[in-house]
Amino acid sequence: MLCLTSGCFFASTSFLPSSFSMYAISLASGFFLLEKYAMAVAVSAAGVILGWPFSILAFLPVVFYSLARRFKQAFLAGAATSVTLLALSVFVDYQYYRRWTSSVLNLVVYNVVGGGESHLYGIEGPLYYLRNAFNNFNFGFVLALLFVGILPIARKKYAPGLVVVVSPVYIWLLFMSMQPHKEERFLYPIYPLICVAASAVIESFPDIFRDKYDPNANFVMVTTAKVLRPFVLGLILCASHSRTFSLVNGYAAPIEVYKILQHHDDAGPGSVVCVGSEWHRYPSSFFIPNYIGEVRWLDDGFRGLLPLPFNSTVGGTSAAPSYFNNKNKASDQQFLQDVEACTFLVELQLNRPYPSRGSDLSKWEPIAALPYLDREFSPPLYRSFFIPYLWQQRNVFGLYKLFRRIRN
């Protein structure tokens, strides 16, 4: 499940702080189950400080129980790791910012006390993470939630070790569901624990029918439950593959379209790629060939702060340009005012009954057009899971296009 479920498949390859915390939770949980409590606490500290500070909530059960079992060793290991990594973090921060500060502390203070306007980037309802987790783990997520239900019959087998390891699933889901701004990546730290909880439930199927006073009773039901286990696991993995195929085939266009730029280097050095409403799907500068001078945003009405081209002449990483602000408010400088300066343009064209906010395309020629799944007009079941033939027939697709300016 760790290798093949759709959630872990994508989270494990994402270069994100929450992914690093996910690795740390996996390792810390393993050390905890092996009764290496000092190592579990040390890895937890690394996951919080080097990864995502807010994931500390998911580490707390393992840390607290480790301290309860081996307080001196666990405390010293955690304290030494924390002090060392924080000192290293502050030193690295100084090298880049040229002043003594802590990016770890700043991140926490800004989001907890400073009141960053995260709602600018979208808010979701309280059931968002439940729906999202089902998409990524399907029936495995349902089984993971049922872990508490099997404890009365599997307490001796799973308590307290596995209970402590799995408990962050419930704690994290509850806490994150209470936050108005939600993103799939925020759930990454508990992805491995969802697999652990689901696996424990599948392994306990025979225990549901086993009579502890008469091992030979309900023999047929116990045997049937044992046989059922690989079929349930197979169903979960097949559904996960279906989810992965749907994501790859339906939403890969934003990555694939930028790869096409490498075949148009005749545009010359210093070319400019312009992106309007698709700024949030821009994958990475890794996909931009060297002849491209910069990527710029066009004003599509979004009022949040977006990245600007790096400018080493104003102080590099140590500078604090005037357009920086602590409310994520947009700056006029982040948008390219002269559209004539654009060499390439990236646009998503969807069939809508109302006029699009897109750019005037009369001076552009399309050089690539890739299908992109239109989630707003596609049924939830068919857009979430790849069902052969029906996936193509029932879903609605737009075109993710790359344009090149027509030179007179």
Tens digit of each residue's pLDDT (9 = 90 or more) over 232-258:
999 999 999 999 999 999 999 999 999
Q: What is the mean pLDDT of residues 8-35?
A: 95
Res. 55: pLDDT tops 90: yes
User: What pLDDT sits at residue 359?
Assistant: 60
Task: Provide φ and ψ at 157, rounded to 5°.
Answer: -80, -35
DSSP assignment of 203-248: HTHHHHH--SS-TTTTHHHHHHHHHHHHHHHHHHHHHHHHHHHHHH
Q: What is the mean pLDDT of residues 76-84?
A: 97
> pLDDT category, 377, cuts 50, 70, 90?
very high
Q: What is the mean pLDDT of residues 401-407?
A: 90
Q: What is the mean pLDDT of residues 95-99?
A: 92
Mean pLDDT over the full length of the chain: 90
β-partners of residue 404 are: 344, 365
Percent of the chain residues topping a pLDDT of 90: 67
User: What pLDDT sits at residue 100?
Assistant: 94
User: What pLDDT sits at residue 181?
Assistant: 85
Over the stretch 188-203, which tens digit does the pLDDT of each residue have?
A: 999 999 999 999 999 9
Do residues 200 and 147 touch, judged by C-beta distance below 8 A? yes
User: What pLDDT sits at residue 79?
Assistant: 97
- The CA angle 364-367-372, to the nearest 5 degrees, is 105
Res. 269: pLDDT tops 70: yes
Res. 354: pLDDT tops 70: no
DSSP assignment of 144-177: HHTHHHHHHHHHHHHTTHHHHHHHHHHHHHHHHH
Res. 391: pLDDT tops 90: yes
Task: For residue 397, give the H/E element and its range.
Answer: strand 397-405
Q: What is the mean pLDDT of residues 366-380?
A: 94
User: What pLDDT sits at residue 198?
Assistant: 96
Place of tokens 């987790």: 133
Over the stretch 121-135, which tens digit does the pLDDT of each residue have?
A: 678 888 999 999 999
Between the two ends of the chain, the Cα-to-Cα distance in Å is 56
> pLDDT category, 56, cuts 50, 70, 90?
very high
What letter represents residue 246's amino acid? S
User: CA-to-CA distance for 138 and 236, rounded, in angstroms?
Assistant: 7
Q: What is the mean pLDDT of residues 136-165?
A: 91
- Dihedral of alpha carbons 115, 116, 117, 120, sign: negative
User: CA-to-CA distance for 89 and 96, rounded, in angstroms?
Assistant: 11
User: CA-to-CA distance for 311 and 375, rounded, in angstroms?
Assistant: 37
Closest CA to 145 of 124, 166, 160: 166
Q: Which of 50-59, 160-169, 227-236, 356-365 has the lowest mean pLDDT?
A: 356-365
Do residues 199 and 232 touch, judged by C-beta distance below 8 A? no
